[in-house]
Chain A
Amino acid sequence: MAEERRQKHCSVVLPTESMKAMAESVGVGQLQEDSCVALSEEVSYRIKEIAQDALKFMHHGKRRKLTTSDIDNALKLKNVEPLYGFQSQEFIPFRFASGGGRELHFYEEKEVDLSDIINTPLPRVPLDVSLKATKEQQKAESTEPLKVVKPGQEEEGTIQGKSQGTTTPDGKGKEKGLIRLKPRSTHELSVEQQLYYKEITEACVGSCEAKRAEALQSIATDPGLYQMLPRFSTFISEGVRVNVVQNNLALLIYLMRMVKALMDNPTLYLEKYLHELIPAVVTCIVSKQLCLRPDVDNHWALRDFAARLMAQSCKTFSTTTNNIQSRITKTFTKSWLDDKTQWTTRYGCIAGLAELGSDVIKTLIIPRLAVEGARIKAVMEGPVVSNIDKIGAEHVQSLLLKHCASVIAKLRPQPDNVDQYRTDYGYLGPMLCSHVMKARTQAALQAQQVNRTTLTITQPRPTLSVSQSGLSGSSGPRTPSIIKVPSSLTLMSPRPGTPSQPSPPATKYIVMATSAGAASTQQVITLSSSQSASPVTSTVPSATSTLQPLVKLESGSGAGLTASRPLQKYIVVSLPSSASSSLETKSSVLPTSISSSSLDGGMKLERSESPGASTQSPH
């Protein structure tokens, strides 16, 4: 083989055509064939000589790549003027042309406008040479010292590399054994992306509900957002930080909806940004105060919603290495167990735990029912209590009842004895008993396939309404949803018998649905707002026919069919599929969940399985 190569070395000579072409380019028209041959041999020989010398410079430059400066230096050795100013952006700066039976490669010399060069902004100054020391203990065959890389940074780095590749040579790279953390990388967004980002964030926290819905839909479905993801996650975490201090409930809700939308987007990988998102979400669950008037505002709903978000992210992102679920559980439990914890925080902790599933309820919440009952009793029946505490205790109580009933229904054999319950669960015992019985009857009613739960209350304040599922008896996993439905929402329109939609501009609606296996039902709704129709049309009509969704126009009279008043509150559509209606729901649920999974791709597959599993659990 070596021989072959050598022979090749020997025979490589520039073609005479090149000589002709070059001669022509300097104005020598007719070059004799003999001269061409002689020239090409001479030129080839000289080029080889120069290349050999250039290699020498490369070796001494301690490089593996031959550069143009090596060739310049080799030319200098031969007393030949080096090529000044030769610089090419491209790897092979030659152009190919053929015609007249000849083919040639030439170097394209573009005319450059000097003012263009002068006016172009200077490129970023390349980083200066610096020195880093890395210590390595004597470990043969081992190589790099431990690198400390924050999760997410590597990914960012590569993305950055890709996007920046053309602009500035990123000489920094990941340095071997760099003990210090890489500074946060900021990568540039294109002008379009910047505009988009601005629009989206403004819409998400702005006052126009229609725009918000669009924006959220965009976040949830747009496939090209990964470059903006770091910005979004920073936006959210900063936003929560600021608005918690200012007790701006509305904005917190908007931000949580953004989180939800981000999580719904199948093309985004949130793993790298959980360190920003999770604290924000947890803040919305357990913060002492989330609104200006804790006695009036429904911050409970935000807590519930955030708790569900948390549960969902635990399910999706928890791995054996990051241990999100167990860390979160620990956090909640710890502050719940603390006696001094406020009712609001207490509520958040319980909600957060409860959303994690029936196992968590069974092992962590039920054993504490008696203690918690005593505490509630102290507030409810005790002498002096502030109104706020009382409300808090009430909410905690109903939360506990709601979540525990279905679990206890499965745990305890019939019959349900009130006294028994009282001894087991203390103050809450009797109420639990009735809830459990209700849950059981619901389960029994399942044969009749219908059950409606959920109703929702709204608040007197027109700007924001949060609905909350009241009586859902199931503890199945649920996807949270607070969906503000603009008046023109498709969900409404296909519903038969719906009165003409009220469409006052300032009205906000909230549709909130929760129930067992709710993952699917909610998705239906979510999809309905984002995707065109099929799930909606399939589920909603069935709901109308079989489930009787309940619509309450709260501020209007109960049966008010004419939505004439401008400020109205709203709507709850709930597709109950509580423990009782498992078979039916399962059948209706699974297809939708599958469709959603196919839509969502890999990561959501888990989710599509979990509703199935949970719908079975009631048995």
Chain B
Amino acid sequence: MAAVQGGMGDADIKTDIKTEPSADGFGNNNANDGRVLSASPGSSSSTGSNKQTAPVTPEDQQTLLAVLQFLKKNKLTESVEILRREAGLPENSLDPKANESAGAGSGGAAGIVDLEGGDASSLLSRVTGSSSAGAQAPTKVAEDQPDVSVVLSAYSQQGDPTLYKVYYRDLKKFIETVLDCHRAELSQVFYPLFVHMYLELVYNNHESEAKAFFEKFSGDQECYYEEDLRILSGLTKKEHMRGNETLLDFRTSKFVLRISRDSYQLLKRHLQERQNNQIWNIIQEHLYIDIFDGMPRSKSQIDAMSGSLAGEAKREANKTKVYYGLLKEPEIELPLDDEDEEAENEEGKPKKKKPKKDSVGSKSKKQDPNAPSQNRIPLPELKDSDKLDKIMYMKEATKRIRLGPDNLPSVCFYTFLNAYQGLTAVDLTDDSSLIAGGFADSTVRVWSVTPKKLRKVKSAADLNLIDKESDDVLERIMDEKTASESKIMYGHSGPVYGISFSPDRNYLLSSSEDGTVRLWSLLTFTCLVAYKGHNYPVWDTQFSPYGYYFVSGGHDRVARLWATDHYQPLRIFSGHLADITCTRFHPNSNYVATGSSDRTIRLWDVLSGNCVRIFTGHKGPIHSLAFSPNGKFLASGATDGRVLLWDIGHGLMVGELKGHTDTIYSLRFSRDGEILASGSMDNTVRLWDAMKAFDDLETDDFTAATGHIHLQDNSQELLLGTYTTKSTPVIHLHFTRRNLLLAAGAFNP
């Protein structure tokens, strides 16, 4: 029942998305159309083309038809209509005979399906990169029996179950005997092959053979697949396959392998010689082999990149140009700044300041060639208060301490006492004046960490009485009686997993297990909006660095882009194969990075909604992301205790920082990007020399073209410091504008 509802919900969303660009009947959207991103049909079609370079194929049509069928069955006639119109399918397309005629434009339709993440799409094996909206309840699967059988039927080929072992062993023997240079590459085949063979056995009800097969060969698999293997091991019956997410992930996405042409030929020849059709079929159907010319890669190169749920990223996936440069800072009247400075510093000092300011000015005037155009994404206009804040920021920035290996930052640790293991999220404002905590008891608390207390705005009746013309009207609207060091905000009905301040410090976002993202006002300390869209826990949310937009991601495997004044998401980023665990905005607000339990990081273009980068290499769910201040690099931390560094422009892994022994929950670059700080469950804060890590980098064209990376193992040289707490996991890090490092966590007795 619930599943059916879920399906309807998704259908609704689809309807909305499709209708939004045409702006019919959504008055609130119209009002802001000028500033707000609108999902244009063009963008969705490009999504489709991005997913797979394959043009429209009969499979896509079938997919489409299956979706239509599903919708029809659920009496969602309107959606059917729209989808059909979008896809350009003729009225009678549901008639199987008409299939051939409906070809044009179905790529766009596939894109929609991708965006959708609808239930139906997840069931369809041919749609790559689509995601299911969370777990399907078994009851529902039963209803959709025909569709499910479509998915699973791929496994129905009957081979002799007893021969599976022989096949696998044969292949293993073969791979073990090939030349060393090919062995590492061909070994990649083992894991996907193992999984698919096992699933085939299970599907065909050869339970005991499946078990035997699993026991015999599961030990051979790379250790970083252990988690998946554990899930697989539980799966021993055909009935279990329904509704199992991991299984669906395997089915719905082709496992991507990168193999050199030579190695591939070797494998192909072997399989053809041995007439090993079983394995050949699997490779053909379920694996995507990305063949490249040139030298085979070494074991360590492969290991660095593998580990994700669906293999490595295809090379094409990371070819799109990414405008990683920063946006030009808006001109701010410096005279004001100057006056203040002079007033403060008496004489002498202003002279010194001037040249500096010039340099700052010139820097901001120069347009970064890699930066997106200023209005690529409509950004909110600066308000007066924002300008004041910018001035404050620049003032503080002049007092900033240059960090480096010889000049490490001081650390100030904010410890939450008596949190009883309930602290789940922390955020600090950019100016480090407020700290907010999300708790397992559904509360959101805000503390002021400066002597300035938190005050509410006066009630409406009292506001009437104040003199609106006075200069200090902003002071007058505050109610002194409510001043306190901290405020509690109630509203969620589940643990609060993500929290984020707006850049102007007027709002706070929180995301929770209850599936909502809430926007709170820090003037009244009340909830303003509950954004409903994720039906499952929302693991993370973050405001754009320019405010107004925010992104959220959760258990339903999609990230959503919202604007604060829209209750519907503007974009849905779909493609991850498992929960989205963390979301981050690029400093220029044009891109969003998401980390996931499928052990990949994806970078999404906010404008088009496309996935422009897929980073693989983590061996565990990713729990923290951080962009370098210059926007060029991305750092990610995962449960495996490693920090990986990525070059966004080239789409390459550029560094690996080993040292932590537990999940890394927080990463942060210093304000000038010299230092990377990482905080972990293992009760330590570690500082890394980011300058050195990125400076040593020389990306030649070859590496950029092939994506073959050579990582040096220099974690120890890059590690500048380790600070341990007694028993406080570090769950948030923040550099103040002057480069003091703030850390936060709950004491864990």
Contact = CB atoms under 8 A, between A and B. Distances in A.
State whether these chains interact. yes
Interface of A: 2-3, 6-7, 9-11, 41-42, 44-45, 48-49, 52, 56-57, 59-65, 67, 69, 73, 77-79, 126-138, 140-144, 169-173, 175-177
Contacts of B449: 131, 133
13 contacts: A2-B223, A3-B219, A6-B233, A10-B214, A57-B495, A65-B421, A79-B3, A127-B418, A129-B422, A131-B449, A133-B415, A135-B412, A140-B723
B721 A138 contact: yes
A2 B224 CA distance: 11
A130 B3 CA distance: 42
B555 interface: yes
B417 A130 contact: yes
Contact of A141 (B447, B539, B681, B722): B722
Contacts of B413: 133-136, 176-177
A138 B721 CA distance: 9
Contacts of A170: 749
B226 interface: yes
A172 B215 contact: no
Nearest to B413: A134
B725 A138 contact: no
Nearest to A128: B418
Interface of B: 2-3, 134-135, 137, 211, 214-215, 218-219, 223, 226, 229-231, 233-237, 239-240, 244, 408-424, 435, 437, 439-440, 445, 447, 449, 486, 494-495, 497, 513, 536-537, 539, 555, 579, 581, 597, 621, 623, 639, 663, 665, 681, 720-729, 731, 746-747, 749
A415 B314 CA distance: 111
Contacts of A175: 415, 417, 747
Contact of B726 (A3, A45, A176): A176
Contacts of B410: 135-138
Contacts of B422: 129
A173 B240 contact: no
Given A6-B229, A129-B445, A134 B415 contact: yes
Given A10-B211, A57-B513, A169-B420, 9 more contacts: A3-B219, A10-B215, A11-B211, A49-B234, A52-B231, A73-B495, A129-B445, A131-B435, A176-B747
A498 to B, nearest CB: 63
B418 A61 contact: no
A171 B749 contact: yes
A2 B226 contact: yes
A73 B514 CA distance: 10
A79 B140 CA distance: 12
A11 B422 CA distance: 35
A134 B420 contact: no
A131 B414 contact: yes
Contacts of A136: 410-413, 723
Contact of A140 (B435, B445, B721): B721
A129 B439 contact: yes
Given A62-B731, A69-B440, A77-B135, A141 B423 contact: no
Contacts of B725: 143-144, 176
Contacts of B421: 61, 63, 65, 67
A171 B418 contact: yes
Given A10-B214, A56-B579, A126-B420, A45 B235 contact: yes
A548 B497 CA distance: 86
Contacts of B419: 129
A171 B420 contact: yes
B230 A9 contact: yes
Contact of B137 (A9, A42, A78, A129): A78
Contact of A6 (B218, B414, B495): B218
B447 to A, nearest CB: 5
Contacts of B439: 129
A129 B417 contact: yes
A84 to B, nearest CB: 14
A64 B639 CA distance: 12
A79 B215 contact: no
A321 to B, nearest CB: 24
Contacts of A44: 234
A-B pairs, 6 with minimum CB distance: A3-B219, A140-B721, A10-B233, A176-B726, A138-B408, A127-B418
Given A10-B233, A136-B723, A140-B408, A79 B137 contact: yes
B423 A62 contact: yes
Contact of B215 (A7, A130, A133, A176): A7
Contacts of A131: 414-417, 435, 447, 449, 486
A65 B421 CA distance: 9
B223 A77 contact: no
B218 A3 contact: yes
A141 B239 CA distance: 54
A173 B415 CA distance: 13
A49 B421 CA distance: 24
B234 A48 contact: yes
Contact of B727 (A6, A41, A42, A176): A176
A171 B417 contact: yes
A175 B746 CA distance: 11
B211 to A, nearest CB: 6
Contacts of B581: 60
B623 A59 contact: yes
B729 A62 contact: yes
B686 to A, nearest CB: 10
Given A9-B230, A52-B231, A176 B415 contact: yes
B665 to A, nearest CB: 6
A44 B240 CA distance: 11
Residue among B409, B435, B749 with most chain A CB within 10 A: B749
Contact of A45 (B219, B236, B723): B236
A429 B173 CA distance: 110
Contacts of B681: 62, 64
B228 to A, nearest CB: 11
A1 to B, nearest CB: 10
B237 A41 contact: yes
Contacts of A130: 416-418
Nearest to A140: B721
A137 B413 CA distance: 11
Given A59-B663, A140-B722, A173 B749 contact: yes
A245 B276 CA distance: 104
Given A3-B219, A77-B555, A136-B723, A45 B234 contact: yes
Nearest to A135: B412
A9 B539 contact: no
Residue among B244, B418, B424 with most chain A CB within 10 A: B418
Nearest to B555: A77
A434 B725 CA distance: 70
A56 B236 CA distance: 22
B621 A59 contact: yes
Contacts of B219: 2-3, 6
A134 B720 contact: no
Nearest to B412: A135
Contacts of A141: 721-722
Contacts of B440: 61, 69
A49 B721 CA distance: 40
B226 A172 contact: no
Given A129-B437, A135-B412, A136-B413, A60 B539 contact: yes
B536 A129 contact: no
B728 A176 contact: yes
A56 B415 contact: no
Contacts of B495: 57, 60-61, 69, 73
A78 B414 contact: no
Nearest to A137: B410
B726 A144 contact: yes
Contacts of B722: 140-141
A2 to B, nearest CB: 6
Contacts of B537: 57, 60, 73, 77
Given A6-B218, A73-B513, A77-B536, A61 B239 contact: no
B233 A60 contact: no
